[in-house]
Structure 1
Amino acid sequence: MSRTPLRLLVLALAAALAAVVLPATAQAAPYCGITWGSGAKQAGSSAPAIRGTELTAVRAGQHACYDRLVLDITGSTRVASYRVEYVPAVRADGSGAVIPLRGGAFLQITVGVNNYARPPANSGNVADVSGFRTFRQVAGAGSFEGYTSEGLGVRARLPFRVFTISGPGSTVRVVLDVAHAW
C-alpha cells in the first residue's frame, strides 16, 4: 500500500471520528436555561387604566441569572394592560420627549395605570440599581390618559420576560426579569 492512499484513509477516519464526537448541529445550552427572547411582550387589552389604579412603588432586585424590576400597582386585583419592548429611546408619556438613560439598550415599560400614587422625587432614578449586572438606570416616563410608563436602561439587548402577580388585597405586581446573558 502506498503512502498516499494510507494518508487518505487516515484523514477519512479522522473526519468520521470528528463528526461523531463533535456533531455539526451541536449548540451551546441557553444561559441558565433561559429561553425568553428579546421581542415585545404584552398582556391585556389596549384599553387605558382601570379607574382608581395607582403605581405605588418601583423596586429592583438581583438574582443569579437575571435582574428583576417590580412595579407595585394598587386599586385593582388586575392590570388592564402592559407592554414592554426595546426601543431606540424611551419617550415621556404625553410630550414624547426623550428620557435620557444610561445603558446600551432601552426598555419602555407601559402599564394601564392612571398615575403615580406619589410622583417619585427623582424621576431619573426611580429605583437604585447601582452595582447590578444588567440594569443601568430606571427612570419615570410619566402618566398620560390612563397609562403610566417607566424607562429601563440595560447593559445590552438581552432576553426578558414579563408576568403579573396578584395580591395581597387589591395589589398587582408587574414583574420584569432581564437575563444577564443570552
Structure 2
Amino acid sequence: MRRWGTALAAMALAGGALAAATTAGTAGAATQTAAKTATTCENGWGSGEKKAQPEEHTPLGNIRTGRHACYDRIVFDVKGATAADPVGYHVGYVDALHQDGSGEKIPVHGDAILDIRVSAPSYDPASGAESYPGRAGKPLRGVDVSGYQTFRDTRFGASVEGDTQVGLGVRERLPFRVFQTDGHVVVDVAHSAKAAS
C-alpha cells in the first residue's frame, strides 16, 4: 500500500511539473505573438511627390522588391552611386501611367499608381548595350509582388534620355518615402495611411 501511495505522489508531482512547463511555454509564445503584433510604425511620410535633382548616372543594374513589417519596398540598384554622387529621381502618384517618349498609356493594376523615374538608364550610353532587361508595358523581370500587403503590380515604362520609368501599382494612395544608400535608390510604401516605419 505504501508503494502505491509513493507512486501516486510521484505521478502527481510529475504532472504538476508538466502542467507548469506547458503553461510557461504557452505564456512565452503569447508574449512573442504580442511583441510581433505590437510593431510601432512611425508617421509622417506623406503621399506628395518626392524628387532629387536629376543627374544621369551609371546604368541601372537591377530592380527588386521586399516585404517589411510596416511597408513594402522597391529598390533600384545603380552601381557607383554614393552620397557624394547621388542618383536623381522623381516619384509621385498619377492617375494613369503614360510611357515616356511615346505618351502611350500603360495599364497598371492597383487602386493607385506611383510613377517612379530614376536617373539611371537601362542601357550603357556609350555602347548601347542593355544593362536591365525592361520591356515597355511588361511586369518587371524577376519581381513577384503577389502576397504583398501594399504592392499590386509593377510595369516597366521606358528608358529615355538617361531616365528609367517604372509604374508601381499599390492598394491605395498610401504614404511613401524615397532615400538613397550607396548603390541604391529605395522607395518604401506604407501598409497603412496612418503609420509608416
Between 118-127 and 69-78, the greater mean CA deviation after superposition? 118-127
1:132–1:144 CA distance, 2 compared to 1 (3 A): same
Match of 2:138 in 1: 124
Instruction: Provide the rounded CA distance (Å) in 2 between the counterparts of 1:97 and 1:129.
Output: 24
Structure 1 position 54, deviation (Å): 1.2
- Aligned partners of 2:107 and 2:137 also within 8 Å: no
Higher share in strand:
1
Q: 2:44 aligns with which of 21, 35, 41?
A: 35
CA distances 1:132-163 after superposition (whole Å, capped 9, x unpaired): 01000111111111111111000000000000
The TM-score with structure 1 as length reference comes to 0.73
Instruction: Provide the rounded CA distance (Å) in 2 between the counterparts of 1:56 and 1:79.
Output: 15
Match of 1:144 in 2: 160
Match of 1:16 in 2: none
Question: Hey, which bits of structure 1, 4+ residues long, moved more than 4 A?
Answer: none
Please, what is the CA RMSD of the aligned residues?
1.8
Higher share in helix:
2
The answer to whether the aligner puts 1:70 opposite 2:70 as a matched pair is no
Instruction: Provide the rounded CA distance (Å) in 2 between the counterparts of 1:32 and 1:141.
Output: 31
- State the structure with more CA Rg: 2
Unpaired runs of 5+ residues, structure 1, are: 1-30, 167-171
Match of 1:24 in 2: none
Q: Secondary structure at the match of 2:41?
A: helix
1:79–1:138 CA distance, 2 compared to 1 (3 A): farther
Unpaired runs of 5+ residues, structure 2, are: 1-39, 124-130
Between 109-118 and 88-97, the greater mean CA deviation after superposition? 109-118
Q: Secondary structure at the match of 1:119?
A: coil
